[in-house]
Structure formats: C-alpha cells, structure tokens
Amino acid sequence: MARKRKPRHVTRGLRFRLMASYALFFALLLIGAAAIFRARLSIVLQNQAEDTLAQQWAAMKGYMRIEDFGNKPAEAHWYYDSEDPDETFIVERLRRVFLLTDASGTNEMFISTTYESMGRESPTQIQQRVRIALASPGKVFSDTRYSEGEPYFIRAGIVFDEQHKAPYYVAIGTPLTGSQKILRDFTLFFVGFIPAALILGSWLGWYMAGRALKPVLAVAQTAQRISGSNLSLRIPAREANDELDYLILTFNRMIERLEASFQQMRQFSTDVSHELRTPITAIRGQLEVALFTAKTPDQYRDAIVNSLQDIDRLSQMVRALLLLSQAESGQLALQKSRIDLGAVVRDLTEQFEIPAEAAGVRLSAQVPGHCFANVDRVQVERMITNLLSNAVKFTPEGGTVRVTLRPDEDAVELVVADTGRGIPEQYLPHIFDRFYRVPGSGTAPGPDQGLGLGLSFVAWIVKAHDGAIDVESTPGQGTRFRIKLPVGEEAPAPPDAAAQPIMNEL
Ligand code: ADP
C-alpha cells in the first residue's frame, strides 16, 4: 500500500536550511565588512580634517601678527597681498571660523559669526587651556562643534605677540560637512545594498541548494521503489565520482547484501519444505499401502519399521535445524575448557575404524602425544566427527583417509584429507551452505543420504572458536579440509557440560 508523504513545513527542509545559512553567512559577512570599512573611512576623513586644520594653523601663524604697544589694546593684523587671490582666499577662509582672545579669555579680539553661533569657550576654560599650552609647548586642543546643525572641527592653541611674547588664545575651524556626507552616503548605500544582496544571495542559495539536492531526491525516490519483492533494483550511478556517488555505491551494496540474504532465506524455506516433504510423503505412502494391501502382521510390521526410519530422519533434521539456528543466532554459548585435542582425535579416529573398514577405506591418524587447546569439547568433537564421516562416506573402496593434528605457534592445525571423489571447483563455495549437497552425488534421497547440514555446523564451530577453515579438492583425486583453531587462554571449567545437547551424529 502506497503511503502518503506527510506534508512537511518548508522551513524544516534541508534546502531551506542550506539557503538560510548561506544568506545569514553573507549578511554577517557584508555587515561586518561594511562596519569595518565605515570605521576606517571615518578615521581617514578625521585625519584629513586634522591635516587641513594643521595647514590652516601654520598659514594663520604666517599671515597674522599680534601687536601690543602697551598704549592701546593689542590688535591682530593680517599681512598678505590683497591683490593675490590665493592669499586672499586663504586668509578669508581662516577668518570664517576664528576666535582670538587674550590669555584671560575675557577680551575678545576677534570672533567670527560662525564661531559665535557654535558657542565660544568660557574664560575659565580658556585660562585653563592657556596654562596647559604654556606648560607643554606645541599643545593643541581639538573638538567637534555644531553651528546651525553643521559640524565643524575646531583646533585651538596659543600664539604670542611680537613685542612682549605674551600668550593669546586662538581657535580655528573647518567644516566637516563633506566628510559627514561621504559617511552618510556610504551608510545609505549599504543600508540599501545589503538587503538587495541578501535577496540575491538567498535566491542564489535556494537555487544552488536545489541543484545540489536534486540527485539526493532522485536517490530517495529510487530507494522508495525498492522493496522486498524488487530487490534487484539499483540506483544508477552518476559517474561524477563525488560524495553522492559514494552514497549510491554504499546503498547499492547494502541492497545487494539484502538481496543475497533474502535469496538465502527463500532458498532455505524451499529447501526445508522439500527436505521435510520427502520423508512425509514416504511415510504416508508406506502407511497407505499397508492400510489397503497388507494382509499379514509381518507386512504391517515392515510398513511401521520403514515409517519409523523416516520419522527418525525427520526428527534428526528438525533437531539439527533447531540447533543450527540457535548456534547462528548466538543462543548457543561455547563451553570452553582446556582439553587434549590429541586424545580427542585419537578416540574419534578409533570410533570410525569400523565403518571405514566396512567401506574398505584405510583410516590413519598422525597425532602428537599431547596437544592442549582451550575449546568446547562437544562442539569440536562434532566438527571432527562430521569431517571424518564425510571423508569416509565420499571415499570409494581402496581409498585412504588421513587425519593430521599439528601444533602451530598459537594455534592447532587439523587436516582431514581423503583420496575420495573430490568436489568440482564450481560447487566448492556452496558446500558450507545449509542443505547443500553437491549435485550428482549419486545417492538418491533416502535414509543413506546426508542432510547437507554437517559442514554448516563445521563452519559455525570454526567461526565460534575464532578459527579458520579452508578446503582444497580435485575431482577424482580427493579432498583436504584444513582447520586452524587458536589455542586460547585457559578458561575456568564449564559449569555443566552435560547440559549441552549432544548430536554427535551430525
Ligand atoms: P552431508 O550431510 O550431505 O554430508 P555436508 O554439509 O557435510 O552434508 O556436506 C555437503 C556436501 O559436500 C556433501 O553432500 C558432499 O557432496 C560434499 N562433501 C563434503 N565432504 C566431502 C568430501 N570429503 N569429499 C567429497 N565431497 C564432500
């Protein structure tokens, strides 16, 4: 059933969030850059105003003389060529914002209207400044004042008259209107520019995030179509060799693994039902035949004995499956203890001597006196039994089966080699699968045929002991299973080994 996609709020989407972070980043960057630039511009303009005033101050000292002959109040005279337009301009500009008083600040010798309108310094302030300037020669005072809303930068200090070298207080000023306008224009420009840049940036972010996320959406849509029934679908790679391709590759590999395990599960269910059906059909057939055709008690007895054999096989299979699934799901814990593997191999080889002799197979073992390892005795016995029973079963009369046990550094190596019929190469990868029997084994399904579960157990036991198994086989010449089990550290004795289910026949 197709599930409806829940409507998601646009602000929760990755695209929106990418765009928003992009826009926020740009906004902060722009505002920061504008603020730094404006502060820097303001300093440059201030320096410019200071330079202009310093030049005007020097010009003022060049053109103005204070004359104090004692018989009348001191006077300031400007000496310049009134015919020269440049000099006239300089002096007139100087006098536009100008204050000249004596050191007491009370006798105003000159004050321009502009200066007056911005408010002159009080006599106390002037006296104080004169004192400071006398104490530290060259000292000037600067501040910003306003006349009719216009800002002016003011520079004040002292000059001396020609005759007595007495100090006089002078202040000159230059309008800051130009600098302020530049700053204002700059601010206005940015106030207008930042939102415009933001809108453009957001649109660009939205577009780029959309482009970047488009393949992700395509991947998600394909992924949505993949379900248990069509696991063969794959997301097509974009051949861009980027992070997204890596994601697609990882995803496809995951689907591959899922498909393989689904396939394995399906195969397993088919195999189980097939394996269970064969003995059930046989039992049913035998009982039906007995019911309709048997006349003597012996005929009934035969039917019951045959049915019981099939029932045995059924229950053996069910027990084996249960045990295997417990083992593979980790419910079957190993009960490790330090045992002499040499003794175990010798005992088991002896047990197989009778069936081997019956099959006309020569069985030999090459085992050191002692070979201790920390393993689960029951499971290791089951592993060796399965390998030996296969070797004897698949080796024709006159062949040999040889078991070798060798200590090897931190591990023990067990080799079971036979001169039997071997396994063709193409079947080798499957022999550890559940219910797998090499095709063309010759034996018809029946009580003599194995369950195809023995090597699955061997593989699990080796894995559970952190060991390794490999197999070499040449059809017609023989098979060689080689197992390496780590010796392991000595473990405390198992609580109760008898609690383990024993299925040595598997
Ligand atoms: P089975 O109960 O049939 O022996 P296994 O899982 O033990 O099941 O083995 C799987 C299949 O591998 C066997 O059916 C057989 O075809 C093949 N096989 C296992 N051991 C040998 C061997 N020593 N020589 C030849 N074939 C073997």
Which mutation among 385, 395, 431, 443 tests ligand 1's pocket best, with the greatest number of atoms within 8 A of CB? 431
| Nearest ligand 1 atom to alpha carbon 453 | 6
pLDDT for the residue numbered 22:
82
Is residue 206 lining ligand 1, measured as CB closer than 6 Å? no
pLDDT for the residue numbered 470:
95
Gap from CA of 406 to ligand 1 centroid (Å): 24
> What is the Cα 185 distance to its own chain's centre?
48
Gap from CA of 1 to ligand 1 centroid (Å): 45
Gap from CA of 431 to ligand 1 centroid (Å): 7
pLDDT for the residue numbered 446:
46
Ligand 1, atom 19, lies closest to the CA of: 390
SS3 75: strand
In the block, tokens 């980027």 appear at 242
Token output for 17: 């969030």
Q: How far is CA 202 from CA 17, 189, 197, 209, 210, in A?
A: 11, 20, 8, 10, 12
Please provide residue 438's backbone torsions phi and psi, each rounded to the nearest 5 degrees: -60, 130
| Nearest ligand 1 atom to alpha carbon 416 | 23
Dump pLDDT digits (tens) for 365-402.
999 888 999 999 999 999 999 999 999 999 999 999 99
pLDDT for the residue numbered 506:
41
| Nearest ligand 1 atom to alpha carbon 449 | 3
Which mutation among 415, 430, 455 tests ligand 1's pocket best, with the greatest number of atoms within 8 A of CB? 455
pLDDT for the residue numbered 220:
83
CA dihedral 95, 101, 103, 106 (to 10 degrees): -160
pLDDT for the residue numbered 492:
52
Given a cut of 70, the residues of the chain with pLDDT beneath it are 1-12, 228, 441-449, 490-506
pLDDT for the residue numbered 219:
79
**Nearest-angstrom CA–CA distance, 313 and 282:** 11
pLDDT for the residue numbered 441:
58
* Neighbour-count burial for 393-424, b at 16+ CB within 10 Å, e otherwise: bbbeeebbbbbbbebeeebbbbbbbbbbbbbe
Is residue 391 lining ligand 1, measured as CB closer than 6 Å? yes
**Nearest-angstrom CA–CA distance, 308 and 319:** 16
Ligand 1, atom 16, lies closest to the CA of: 438
